[in-house]
Structure 1
Amino acid sequence: MTSLFLTGCMRRLCWLLALSLLPWSASADGAGTWTASWITSLQSIPRGDALPPLYRAPDVAGRTVRQIVVPTLAGESVRLHLSNRYADTTLDVESMRIAPARGMGAATRGPGAGVTFGGHARLQLPPGGEADSDPIPLKLLAHKPYAISMFMGRAQKLQAWHRVASQTSFVSAPGDHVQDVSADAFKGRFTQFAWITSLAVARAPAGSVLAIGDSITDGMRSTLDSNRRWPDVLSGRLAGNDDAPAVLNAGISGNRLLSDSPCYGERMLTRFERELDSQPGVHTAIVLIGINDINFAVMPVRKGLDCDAPHTLVSAQDLIAGYRRLIDIAHRHHVRVLMGTLTPAGLPNERESLRLNVNQWIRTQREADGVVDFDAAVRDPAKLQNLRTAYDSGDHVHPSDAGYAAMAQAVSLQQLTHSTASASAR
């Protein structure tokens, strides 16, 4: 046992040493200051032989995976960040390209630009590894779709993803199809993001706003391939301003403030600091989290894969203590934090009382830098525990496209476009 442990440690040390010498490591960006224009947050894929269909990853070995992303800032030079977090095998990318997409499908408008890492087309990342691409000379337009194509190694497996992307990704027939302009080879479909966690542009002084939370920030039940999540709509509202920041979506469906999940990612208290460290241009964070902590405690225990485990009972004071820790983390990173009130979920009396107590604290506290009253924006004025009918996607928890638009309208643009100086002065 000891010899195995030491061997593992030696491999880790050797990899860290090698990474520090590579020209594509995070410390060598080659183009000055970078600001993320689009991001997504990864979560591990549950392992097992009898997983429900929702958790079965597509076959990507020796195939080309094409993902569509929509940046929220324009730029003349682009950098992609790849992550092999949560995997226990090497990430093997044989070639990679980025090109403007023709609509939201797999076809592109021309062959685009190749992506390299330290001057090499091929990238092999060990388990847990991260890598920034070389700067890519590409005129990037905000709010337009881009196709990122990756030809995967012959033994490649998908072990981590962003599960609820609200965006279709594509898998080709076997072979290298990264330069294909046509969508003909891309018959496979899946609705997750994988490996690519950030698209950044060079020298964007307006910085970025991080929207972080659970499925309601993730945009669950919004229209597929339409960019109707509330952070998307917020970015559209900002688009006319010369000093508009990027709006980055770090929502994970099912995520909780206080508990990890085998399906829904690490708890917010664990991942929040990592998200801030990964995006140095962030000056404001909008936090909306807690409804799953309230609900999952009473969900039935499921045999096999129990995504809601642990079924931890929480109090308002438990959640408030967690919010205070998030606020402290943000302020230590010189980031302003706006706390969002929890939206209606048609809860029974005991859980509704807990939600209302949490919202009362959020509205009256003076520890954060502001409040976004999402609850007031979407609740039914006649039945405060419910979403307005027009804002309900049908499950009485997740907003419709119109509901997400109303949430975006609840955010004060002034708080987002004039916050860099006050945040850096902390």
Structure 2
Amino acid sequence: MTLRTLAAVCGAVLLVQFAVAPAAIAADAPTHWVSAWATALQSIPQQANLPPLYRAPEVAGRTVRQIVYPTLSGRAVRVHLSNEYGKTPLVIQDLRIASSAGGAATQANGGAKVTFGGKASVTVPPGSELDSDAAEVDIVAGAPYAISSYMGADQNLVAWHRVSNQVNYVSLPGNHTDDSMSGAFHQRFTQFVWVTGLSVEAPSAAAVATIGDSITDGMRSSLNENHRWPDAFARRLTQAGDRSTSVVNLGISGNRLLNDSPCYGEALVKRFSRDVLERPGVKVAILLIGINDINFSSMPPRAGLDCDYPHTSVNAEDLIDGYKRVIAEAHRRGVRVFGATLTPASLPPQRESIRLAANQWIRTAGAFDGVVDFDAALRDPAQPARLREGYDSGDHIHPSDAGYAAMAQAIPLDAVVNSTRK
């Protein structure tokens, strides 16, 4: 747990119905915990008449079952909860982790109950995060796990990771955390909520954090298939015989380097410390961000919910200054950063010139600890401002599954892995 989180928890002690000290101590223990799965939250717009994409499911007094795929094996696991954007306490009455049996079903052994300071229930104050106690669960990298949370009677959703590319489930009213059958889970949704990380006990392992916008998030990749480029990179590591490097995905669709959004999360320069540097065991970050900064200034303002606000114009120098801020922050914490070139997006000439200038700096300035040339991996040789035909999902911005696989192959594997060992 970070000092910021610990201070928030202590300051709201009257709201907490159990002693959080054991969880806090566990979180601050010497590093043998390593992030095996993670996601980044964004606040849900709070206004009337939201478009359907931004309407959250009803979770009060129900069980939320989320399916996650850790990328590192271990014999014990901690669950990380976040109420970062909450205005009221986050109340979970019961929480359990179990091997998934497909859909909303779990393996019949019921998995393991997850506790917080020895208690089954937990109250997380607004603005706070915390880790669970260690639960003895055999975590196998690449296998699916169901995390089931029985929510408080008045709980509502004010934050999520909106584009999960994973079907998750909400039950009928009641505690269904230990139901192995799927019958109670009538509602499907495609976001992640509350749970923002799993860490496993792995003394010699390290994590690579991937962070950026929708292209890291895996927008338009196949639902439930784990075809985002970070997923493909995790599989590439395993195929190369590396069992001690995890890959966690902190991309947020629509995210920008320099500006917040009503829908797409805080600017990456603001969220980088929380979403990457405070994760246990992270030694390397791969950064791919900037195309939305270039594009959103040209998006027309919309009445009602304007997700592209503010429509701030940026140039290459603005992006470079932002990259330098991220690099400096990472280096202060001993984390190495690989800069990824911005991928083709069929931009008009003025915006394309900004992309090319940013890419030239990423490749040649020497400010990053390494370079991942995603642009070269995906561009059409005959029309380098465009995605190669087989790598285009159809919108000329987001890669297809094949394109995401090509991105994973473009990562300099040895350089990244060696950087996690330094």
* TM-score bracket for the superposition, by shorter chain length: over 0.9
Correspondences of 1:42-53 after superposition (within 5 Å):
42-53=41-52
CA shift in 2, pair 1:39/1:353, >3 Å: same
Residue 145 of structure 1 is matched in structure 2 by 144
What does the per-residue CA deviation read over 1:210-250, in whole Å, with 9 as the maximum and x for residues that have no partner? 10000000000000100000000000000142453100100
Q: Distance in 2 between matches of 1:68 and 1:354?
A: 39
Q: Distance in 2 between matches of 1:12 and 1:137?
A: 25
1:227 aligns with 2:226: yes
Gaps of 5+ in 2: 1-6
How far has the Cα of 1:126 moved from its partner?
1.5
1:106 aligns with 2:104: yes
Q: Distance in 1 between matches of 2:40 and 2:421?
A: 27
Instruction: Tell me the SS of whatever aligns to 2:385.
Output: strand
Instruction: Tell me the SS of whatever aligns to 1:59.
Output: coil
What does the per-residue CA deviation read over 1:258-317, in whole Å, with 9 as the maximum and x for residues that have no partner? 100010000011011222332131111100000000000000000111110000000111
Residue 87 of structure 1 is matched in structure 2 by 86
Q: Distance in 1 between matches of 2:139 and 2:263?
A: 34
What does the per-residue CA deviation read over 1:141-173, in whole Å, with 9 as the maximum and x for residues that have no partner? 000000000111111101100000010110011
Q: Distance in 1 between matches of 2:131 and 2:364?
A: 42
Residue 371 of structure 1 is matched in structure 2 by 371
Residue 311 of structure 1 is matched in structure 2 by 311
Deviates more, 1:287-296 or 1:90-99: 90-99
CA shift in 2, pair 1:242/1:12, >3 Å: closer
Instruction: Tell me the SS of whatever aligns to 2:274.
Output: helix
**Counterpart contact for 2:211–2:287, Cα < 8 Å:** yes
CA shift in 2, pair 1:161/1:72, >3 Å: same
Deviates more, 1:20-29 or 1:318-327: 20-29
Residue 206 of structure 2 is matched in structure 1 by 207
Instruction: Tell me the SS of whatever aligns to 2:137.
Output: strand
Correspondences of 1:2-401 after superposition (within 5 Å):
14-15=11-12, 22-29=20-27, 33-103=32-102, 105-110=103-108, 111-240=110-239, 241-242=241-242, 244-401=244-401
**Counterpart contact for 2:19–2:117, Cα < 8 Å:** no
How far has the Cα of 1:420 moved from its partner?
3.1
Deviates more, 1:333-342 or 1:236-245: 236-245
CA shift in 2, pair 1:359/1:344, >3 Å: same
CA shift in 2, pair 1:28/1:218, >3 Å: same
Q: Distance in 2 between matches of 1:271 and 1:405?
A: 27
Letter in 2 for 1:119: G
Q: Distance in 2 between matches of 1:418 and 1:180?
A: 43
Q: Distance in 2 between matches of 1:417 and 1:243?
A: 11
TM-score (norm 1): 0.93
Instruction: Tell me the SS of whatever aligns to 1:266.
Output: coil
TM-score (norm 2): 0.94
CA shift in 2, pair 1:251/1:333, >3 Å: same
Residue 416 of structure 1 is matched in structure 2 by 416
Letter in 2 for 1:171: V
**Counterpart contact for 1:70–1:144, Cα < 8 Å:** yes
Instruction: Tell me the SS of whatever aligns to 2:247.
Output: strand
Residue 4 of structure 2 is matched in structure 1 by none
Gaps of 5+ in 1: 1-9
**Counterpart contact for 1:36–1:279, Cα < 8 Å:** yes
CA shift in 2, pair 1:152/1:21, >3 Å: closer
Letter in 2 for 1:83: S
What does the per-residue CA deviation read over 1:162-191, in whole Å, with 9 as the maximum and x for residues that have no partner? 000010110011111111111111110110
Instruction: Tell me the SS of whatever aligns to 2:249.
Output: strand
